[in-house]
Structure 1
Amino acid sequence: MTSFFSPKQWLFIGLLLWLAAQHAAGQQPAAQRDTSFTVYSAFVKAKKNYPDISIARPAAPASIQSKMNLTYCTLGARSLQLDIFYPKAKRKKGYPAVLFIYGGGWRSGERSQHVPMAQQLAAKGYVTVTADYRLSTEALYPAAVHDLKAAIRWLRANARQYPIDTTRIAVWGFSAGGQLASLIGTTNGDAQFEGDACNKSHSSSVQAIVDVDGTLAFIHPESGEGNDSKGPSAATYWFGVSKTEKPDLWHQAGALNHVTAKTPPIVFINSAVDRMHAGREDMIKKLDTYHIYHETHTFPNSPHPFPLFNPWFEPTLSYTAAFLDKVFKVK
């Protein structure tokens, strides 16, 4: 009998069936680190079209202190860690806090990616954290959401040691991290996204969102996520099933579908790559309906990983600080 599929297509179909079986059985992929996205690899790729860029590596400000490799949640044998940066100067009421979430297609990347940004923002009067979360090679959606909400709860549980104002916590994310930041911020108090581990007596709610080139909707006319024509996409790996097999799951992960009157203020900081902010204009319409404060800043002629590089690092930092200063009323 003649096959309608090529060997490559059969391999892809087999992989999708395997992912679906894993998801249905509640199993997780093997934890093998994917190192395909790093600051350097992104730099090499971007430099071909932007020859004047450089990796942003400003010196750590003398006004801050840091603690590295702190465990914020333990899941069996797995220790999730974070790095924290905060001003040396004491403040009775504490400082607003910001959780930084790295990108890499929910499959690659690491928390050191945004240490320079976190350090510079800490010098402006914030407690900043860069945190691990489980990637798709280790755990399927929504494990990453559970992890990062646990990191926010850790901030509140440790607010006295690291002078944090628990009434002013923001989440900042780039790319896949931006998607996670926007989802976390629009699901404040939603039990299905909390997970069941670590500091459960504390809230994971945030009071501001900084979405840096993170998609707001996976199934949307503007979205490029889930295109499996050349093999499983990063999002398909993360969800464990294709968007045609379980569209409800893909819709669930889009912040656009969770906007309510309780959604916190948000700033969109975007590259010139339109598909990286899919759903933004529709989300803005919803935000306006509820009179929720928002800002949009777009860098023309910029690559997707722009916040990692000069000349975009400093203005990204400035947009972030100005937005947070405004919504948190920092003086």
Structure 2
Amino acid sequence: MKKFLSIFLSTLFLCLSLLAQEKFLRDTSFTTYSAFIKERKNFPKIQIAKLPLSKTSLEKLDIPFKDLGYRKLNLDITYPKKEKKGGYPVVILLFGGGWKSGDKSMCNPQARFFAEKGYVAVSVEYRLSPEAKYPAAVLDVKEAIRWIRSHTKEYNIDPYHIAVLGRSAGGQLAALVGTTGGVKKYQSGKNLFISDDVQAIIDIDGVLSFHHPESSEGQVASEWLGGTYVERPTVWDDASALNNVTNYSPPILFINSSNPRFHAGRDDMIKKLDEYNIYSKVHEIPNTPHPFWLFHPWFNETNNFALAFLNKIFK
């Protein structure tokens, strides 16, 4: 009887776990290839950016950093082989996809670029809207930051120099995570005694305000924020980095396409940063589609802008 009960409970747990995972199947509509097919209609000369791993770098994929019970969240780390006293600065990479699609592997070419230039690059998985609404993704990224600071020796990390870089929805997340360091309502998970502060932000075409005259965020944002602005105004405001700027906010770089929709709130945020004498810089690349960072001829230009900013802040 005990053996039967044990088998029954194990089977039940397995079924419930599979059901939970089935309920939260990823939306795979946004990939590098799908973006390429879409954008080459207007930009026929673009090419998908690929970068092999440098001989001076190491790469470890799918390292668990958070256990959700029914599945684990993973991150990828690309880092210099050579040991360095005090460790290397870190750049955390957040993929885009409208908070509903996309994958951390889309950041790997950029991660390899930064590792070759003397940074530990960490591509982070976070929960998307089909699985969990805001603020789940924010909590995931902050837990990844704490995990990184708790694994400094393994990857030769400098815990005092961490930047967060995001593209599109990941850019919005990067700006929000960077401007809410230590904020109690985003304190959840393990290692809460470790800081989730970052020392620099790079926002690549991520909106800074959801409810703004320049913003046209609608259904996709509503899916992540759990309702429309009329239904959840406080959430829309809280999730906007523009509303979280303080004198403790870190320096920020904005790299933008020529699409004004993805600049929403940027100029107002710069005005606030200027009031606190916090450094910011803008690079707006003309004649570019929204996901320009994925493709040549803009891949290297984007990364070089980011690298110059990081070197200015960290080195």
Q: Do the two structures share a fold, i.e. TM-score over 0.5?
A: yes
- Partners of 1:311 and 1:75 lie apart in 2 by 39
Select which of 221, 231, 234 maps to 1:245: 231
- Partners of 1:61 and 1:263 lie apart in 2 by 34
Q: Shift of the alpha carbon at 1:92?
A: 1.2
- Partners of 1:58 and 1:147 lie apart in 2 by 27
Moved over 4 A (4+): none
Query: In structure 2, the residue corresponding to 1:70 is in which secondary structure?
Result: strand
Task: Look up the match of 2:3.
Answer: none
Say if 2:289 is the partner of 1:296. no
Equivalent pair of 2:67/2:73 in contact (CA under 8 Å): yes
Say if 2:191 is the partner of 1:199. yes
Task: Look up the match of 1:308.
Answer: 294
Equivalent pair of 1:74/1:198 in contact (CA under 8 Å): no
String of CA shifts for 1:209-255, please: whole Å, max 9, x gaps: 000000000000000112xxxxxx11111111111111111010000
Equivalent pair of 1:150/1:204 in contact (CA under 8 Å): yes
- Partners of 1:215 and 1:147 lie apart in 2 by 19
Task: Look up the match of 1:117.
Answer: 110
Q: Looking at secondary structure, tell me which structure has more helix per residue.
A: 2
String of CA shifts for 1:270-322, please: whole Å, max 9, x gaps: 00011112000000100100000011001100000000000000011101110
Say if 2:209 is the partner of 1:223. no
Query: In structure 2, the residue corresponding to 1:35 is in which secondary structure?
Result: coil
Q: Supply the AA of the counterpart residue of 2:231.
A: E
Query: In structure 2, the residue corresponding to 1:161 is in which secondary structure?
Result: helix
- Partners of 1:63 and 1:224 lie apart in 2 by 43
- What are the equivalent positions in structure 2 for 1:129-140 lying under 5 Å apart? 129-140=122-133
Select which of 22, 29, 39 maps to 1:36: 29
Task: Look up the match of 1:26.
Answer: none
- Partners of 2:302 and 2:293 lie apart in 1 by 6
Task: Look up the match of 1:68.
Answer: 61
Instruction: Supply the RMSD in Å over aligned alpha carbons.
Output: 1.2
Query: In structure 2, the residue corresponding to 1:160 is in which secondary structure?
Result: helix
Task: Look up the match of 1:22.
Answer: none
Task: Look up the match of 1:19.
Answer: none
Q: Supply the AA of the counterpart residue of 2:95.
A: Y
Q: Supply the AA of the counterpart residue of 1:66.
A: E
Query: In structure 2, the residue corresponding to 1:295 is in which secondary structure?
Result: strand
Q: Shift of the alpha carbon at 1:201?
A: 2.4
Equivalent pair of 1:145/1:194 in contact (CA under 8 Å): no
Consecutive unaligned residues in structure 2, runs of 5 or more: 1-21
- What are the equivalent positions in structure 2 for 1:252-271 lying under 5 Å apart? 252-271=238-257
Select which of 73, 86, 100 maps to 1:93: 86
Task: Look up the match of 2:305.
Answer: 319
Consecutive unaligned residues in structure 1, runs of 5 or more: 1-28, 227-232
Q: Shift of the alpha carbon at 1:194?
A: 2.3
String of CA shifts for 1:25-80, please: whole Å, max 9, x gaps: xxxx9312101100000011000000110000022211100111100111212200
Per the normalisation by structure 1, the TM-score is 0.88
- Partners of 2:129 and 2:92 lie apart in 1 by 20
Query: How many correspondences in the alignment?
Result: 295
Say if 2:205 is the partner of 1:213. yes
Say if 2:155 is the partner of 1:154. no
Equivalent pair of 2:51/2:112 in contact (CA under 8 Å): no
String of CA shifts for 1:127-157, please: whole Å, max 9, x gaps: 0111111100100100000000000001000
Task: Look up the match of 2:12.
Answer: none
Query: In structure 2, the residue corresponding to 1:183 is in which secondary structure?
Result: helix
Q: Shift of the alpha carbon at 1:200?
A: 2.1
- Partners of 2:143 and 2:153 lie apart in 1 by 17
Q: Supply the AA of the counterpart residue of 1:55.
A: I
Select which of 48, 59, 79 maps to 1:55: 48
- Partners of 1:128 and 1:275 lie apart in 2 by 28
- Partners of 1:32 and 1:70 lie apart in 2 by 20
- Partners of 2:227 and 2:23 lie apart in 1 by 16
Percent of residue pairs bearing the same amino acid type: 52
Question: Greater CA deviation, 198-207 or 313-322?
Answer: 198-207
